[in-house]
Amino acid sequence: MPLFTIESEFRYEIVRKVFEGGMGVVYEAEQHGTRNFIKRVAIKVVRQNYADQKSFIDNFVGEAKLVADLIHTNIVQTYHLGEVRGMFFIAMELIRGVNLEQFSQQLTDKKRILPSELAVFITSRVARGLAYAHAKTDKDGKPLGIVHRDVSLKNIMIAFEGDVKLTDFGIAKARGFLQDNEGEVVAGKADFMSPEQADFKITDKRSDLFSTGVVLAHLLLGYNIFKGATAEESRQRIMSQPIPDFRAVDTRVDDRLNEILQRALARDLNLRYPTADELLYDLEHYIYHKGYGPTNETLGKYIRELFGQSIAPAIPDNKGSTQLLEHTARIATKR
């Protein structure tokens, strides 16, 4: 039984559109509380044409419930799941920064090459977030079996302060939270999938580690070695294209970094990294074994200089007006 219950009314005022995807839209918003309390958050809203699809809404709700208890510095935190007039939304941590796709494009536009130690550092933070998520258990201590299944440039954020955050568990699988048709359908971005994912096979946490290896290779080379003209071509390359000797592709890649890439991108599951913790250890040892290596502050300074200390421009909503969501929250504190 709850110790006591607090009923409180609060509202969200939508400020600007941050990102627009195929199934949802993310806004920057102000959460208003009592006595002029204001907190900036991100609001993820289901597109109206998906609002009536039960399976989609069930997964949207399942995602919110899954990530609600994922509290880690390298994972975007979820604060609240709400519904207003049949519209579902998730209130999340607002990251003032860019995703890795925008980051990579800015590097290309400015003809810059990301220092290899920063590429490894960014990837190590992703591995940290995955290690935490993969090890997450329920309240009874049973493993949830979380597999993100969509580790890609778009789903990794870098704040202008240098924090790296994994986001969007929308197609993740976890026991008891999301509907899963794995083996019948394939979900994720084709050029970042693991071979088993691309081949409609059942995945486990090692699938995310292959995708993390693809991210690292992209950051180092400036392009995705598996990306084809179509999603189908990308899937075929993921499953069959020979993994290159990265030392021959980029002279900055030494023997040890090439070994890390080869193990992360191993198609044979017995040869791939078995856990994110082991990948994390090798990445961190690579950049820190001599004593000093990159930090959040190092990355923050680099990204602020790259973007001219700017914040991604606001994208007005279709109506060009401020939107308002109101919701009554019921907060229970248990013993």
CATH classification at residue 82: 3.30.200.20
Query: Among 285, 263, 158, which residue's Cα sits nearest to residue 219?
Result: 158
Residue 323 above 50 pLDDT? no
pLDDT of residue 187: 62
Q: Which domain holds residue 149?
A: 98-306
Residue 127 above 50 pLDDT? yes
260 and 136 assigned to the same domain:
yes
> Is 150 among the catalytic positions?
yes
pTM of this prediction? 0.86
246 and 206 assigned to the same domain:
yes
Residue with tokens 């202008």: 160
Mean pLDDT of 91-101: 92
Q: What is the 3-state secondary structure (H, E, C) of 121-173?
A: HHHHHHHHHHHHHHCCECCCCCECCCECCCCCHHHEEEECCCCEEECCCCCCE
CATH classification at residue 229: 1.10.510.10
pLDDT of residue 306: 95
Between residues 160 and 137, which one has the greater pLDDT? 160
Strand-pair partners of 10? 327
103 and 45 assigned to the same domain:
no
89 and 112 assigned to the same domain:
no
**DSSP string covering 177-197:** TS---BTTB--S-GGG--HHH
321 and 294 assigned to the same domain:
no
Confidence of residue 4 (pLDDT cuts 50, 70, 90): confident
Neighbours of 87 (CB within 10 A): 13
Within the chain, where are the H helices?
54-67, 100-109, 116-134, 195-198, 205-221, 231-240, 246-249, 255-264, 276-288, 296-306
Mean pLDDT of 235-254: 96
Rg of the chain in Å (alpha carbons): 20
Poorest-pLDDT segment among 39-43, 161-165, 175-179, 211-215: 175-179
274-293 pLDDT, tens per residue?
A: 999 999 999 999 999 988 89
64 and 150 assigned to the same domain:
no
- Count of domains for the chain: 2
160 and 88 assigned to the same domain:
no
Q: Which of 69, 109, 138, 150 is catalytic?
A: 150
233 and 293 assigned to the same domain:
yes
CA atoms of 152 and 224, how far apart (whole Å): 11
Poorest-pLDDT segment among 51-55, 64-68, 269-273: 51-55
Mean pLDDT of 80-84: 83
pLDDT of residue 120: 98
Find how far residue 291's CA is from the centre of its chain: 29
58 and 82 assigned to the same domain:
yes
Between residues 177 and 257, which one has the greater pLDDT? 257
Confidence of residue 184 (pLDDT cuts 50, 70, 90): very low
Counting other chains too, the contacts that 225-230 makes at CB distance below 8 Å and 24 or more residues apart are 226/191, 226/192, 227/191, 228/190, 228/191
